[in-house]
């Protein structure tokens, strides 16, 4: 029996006949990483990049 799964708006057809431990582990890893907060250092770097791009275009960052 096949079942449709929707992941981030993409419909995926998967078979329910076999359990794939690699797929299950990757899904769990993705879930864990997805729920982590973005570190402040990284947000600062992204802000700096946005400011440089805005300056290069002659406008202020949002």
Structure tokens of 28? 């769990």
**Confidence at residue 20, expressed as pLDDT on a 0 to 100 scale:** 87
pLDDT number for residue 1: 45
Close Cβ partners of 4 (under 8 Å, ≥ 6 residues apart): 11, 12, 13
Q: What is the dihedral of CA 14, 19, 24, 25, to 10 degrees?
A: -140
- Rounded to two decimals, the pTM is 0.44
pLDDT of residue 45: 97
In tens, the pLDDT along 7-56 reads 666 766 666 667 888 999 999 999 999 999 999 999 999 999 999 999 99
> What is residue 19's predicted lDDT score, i.e. its pLDDT?
84
CB 42 within 8 A of CB 48: no
Q: Which residue is listed with tokens 């960052």? A: 61
């Amino acid at each position: 029996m096949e079942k449709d799964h929707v992941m981030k708006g993409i419909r995926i057809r998967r078979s329910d006949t076999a359990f794939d431990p690699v797929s299950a582990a990757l899904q769990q890893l993705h879930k864990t990483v997805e729920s982590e907060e973005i570190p402040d250092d990284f947000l600062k770097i992204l802000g700096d990049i946005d400011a440089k791009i805005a300056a290069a275009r002659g406008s202020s960052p949002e």
